[in-house]
Amino acid sequence: MTDQNNRKMNKEIELLAPAGSKESFYAGIRVGADAVYMAYEKFGARAYAGNFGLDDIAECIDFAHLYGKKVYLTVNTLVKEKEFPELEEFASSGIPSMSDGLIIQDLGVASFFRENYPLIPLHASTQMSVTGPEGAGLLSDLGFTRIVPARELSFEEIGDIYDKTGLEIECFIHGAMCYSYSGQCLLSSVLGGRSGNRGRCAQPCRLSYRIAGSPKETETYPLSLKDMCTLEILPLILDAGVCSLKVEGRMKPAAYVSGVISVYRKYLDLYLSGNEYHVEKEDLKTLSGLYVRGSLSHGYYDRHNSKDMVTVTSHGYNGSDRSDACAGEISADIETKYASKIEVNFKAGFRIGNNASLSAFAQTGDGRKASAFVSGDIVEKALKASVAADDIRKSLKKLGNTPFITNDDLIEIVSDDGIFYSLKGINELRRKVLAELKEKLKFSPVQNKFISDCGGMAFPEISKYAQDHGYSFLIRTEDQLHAVLNKTDILDNRSVSRIYYEESFFADERIVRMIEEIKDKTGIPVFAACSFIRRKGDDLSFIQKYIGSGLICGLLVRNLEDLSFFGGNKDVTVITDFGVYAWNRYSEKTLRNFCAGATLPLELSNAECRDLRKSSFFYIERVIYGRAPLMISANCIRKTLKSCTKNDGFETIIDRKGISFPVYADCYHCLNVYYNSVPLILKDAGDVCKRIEFTTEDKDECGKLLETFVSGRIPEGEHTSGWAERPVM
pLDDT recorded at residue 5: 58
* Phi–psi pair at 451, nearest 5 degrees: -115, 115
Q: How far apart are the first and last CA of the chain?
A: 52
- Confidence check: pLDDT of 107 > 90: yes
The secondary structure element, H or E, covering residue 258 is: helix 254-273
SS3 of 299-326: CCCCCCCCHHHEEECCCCECCCCCHHHH
pLDDT recorded at residue 460: 35
202 compared with 301, residue with greater pLDDT: 301
Amino acid at 647: N
pLDDT recorded at residue 366: 79
Amino acid at 563: L
DSSP 536-587: TT---HHHHHHHHHTSEEEEEE-SHHHHHHHTT-TTSEEEE-TTS---SHHH
Q: Which of 149-153, 392-396, 604-608 has the lowest mean pLDDT?
A: 604-608
Q: Average of pLDDT values for 86-110?
A: 95
DSSP 110-168: HHHHHHH-TTS-EEE-GGG---SHHHHHHHHHTTEEEE---TT--HHHHHHHHHHH--E
> What is the β-pairing status of strands 552-557 and 526-529?
parallel
What lies within 8 Å, CB to CB, of 41 at 6+ separation is: 51, 52, 53
Distance CA 512, CA 87 (A): 48
Q: How confident is the model at residue 693 (pLDDT cuts 50, 70, 90)?
A: very high
301 compared with 207, residue with greater pLDDT: 301
* Phi–psi pair at 30, nearest 5 degrees: -70, -25
Q: Which of 8-17, 428-437, 665-674 has the lowest mean pLDDT?
A: 8-17
pLDDT recorded at residue 644: 86
Q: Which of 137-146, 236-245, 463-472 has the lowest mean pLDDT?
A: 463-472
What lies within 8 Å, CB to CB, of 132 at 6+ separation is: 157, 160, 161, 534, 535, 536, 561
Domain positions in the chain are 3-177+226-298, 342-441, 467-626+681-710
pLDDT recorded at residue 3: 59
704, 714 in Cβ contact below 8 A? no
pLDDT recorded at residue 319: 44
- 179 closest CA partner among 701, 631, 591, 664: 631
pLDDT recorded at residue 168: 97
546, 503 in Cβ contact below 8 A? no
pLDDT recorded at residue 643: 87
- Confidence check: pLDDT of 199 > 70: no
Using a pLDDT cut of 70, give the percent of the chain over it. 90
pLDDT recorded at residue 47: 47
Helix axes 155-165, 133-141, angle to 10 degrees: 40
pLDDT recorded at residue 251: 86
Q: How confident is the model at residue 703 (pLDDT cuts 50, 70, 90)?
A: very high
- Confidence check: pLDDT of 143 > 70: yes
SS3 of 600-644: CCCCCCHHHHHHHHHHCCCEEEEEEEECCEEEEECCCHHHHHCCC
pLDDT recorded at residue 463: 56
Q: Indicate if 467-626+681-710 has the same CATH topology as 3-177+226-298.
A: yes
pLDDT digits (tens, 9 = 90+) for 528-550: 999 999 999 999 999 999 999 99
pLDDT recorded at residue 19: 95
Residues in the chain: 729
pLDDT digits (tens, 9 = 90+) for 347-357: 999 999 999 99
Distance CA 38, CA 20 (A): 6
The pTM of the whole model exceeds 0.85? yes
Average pLDDT of the chain to the nearest whole number: 89
pLDDT recorded at residue 540: 93
- The burial of 230, by beta-carbon neighbours within 10 Å (0-12 exposed, 13-18 middle, 19 or more buried), is given as buried
Describe the strand order of the beta sheet including 649-655 as a list of residue ranges.
Answer: 209-211, 649-655, 660-666, 671-675, 629-633
- Confidence check: pLDDT of 105 > 70: yes
Q: How confident is the model at residue 719 (pLDDT cuts 50, 70, 90)?
A: very high
Residue 128: Cβ within 10 Å count: 27
The single-letter DSSP state of residue 693 is E
pLDDT digits (tens, 9 = 90+) for 398-419: 998 899 999 999 999 999 999 9
pLDDT digits (tens, 9 = 90+) for 287-341: 998 887 667 999 999 999 999 999 998 865 554 445 444 444 444 344 445 667 8
Q: Average of pLDDT values for 692-718?
A: 95
pLDDT recorded at residue 617: 78
Q: Average of pLDDT values for 237-249?
A: 96
The secondary structure element, H or E, covering residue 674 is: strand 671-675
183, 127 in Cβ contact below 8 A? yes
151, 126 in Cβ contact below 8 A? yes
CATH architecture label of 3-177+226-298:
Alpha-Beta Barrel (3.20)
Q: Average of pLDDT values for 151-167?
A: 96
Q: Which CATH number fits domain 467-626+681-710: 3.40.190.10, 3.20.20.70, 3.90.1170.50, 3.40.50.10470?
A: 3.20.20.70
The single-letter DSSP state of residue 52 is B
483 compared with 206, residue with greater pLDDT: 483
- Confidence check: pLDDT of 45 > 70: no
Distance CA 593, CA 519 (A): 29
Using a pLDDT cut of 90, give the percent of the chain over it. 73
- 184 closest CA partner among 196, 171, 201: 196
pLDDT recorded at residue 335: 46
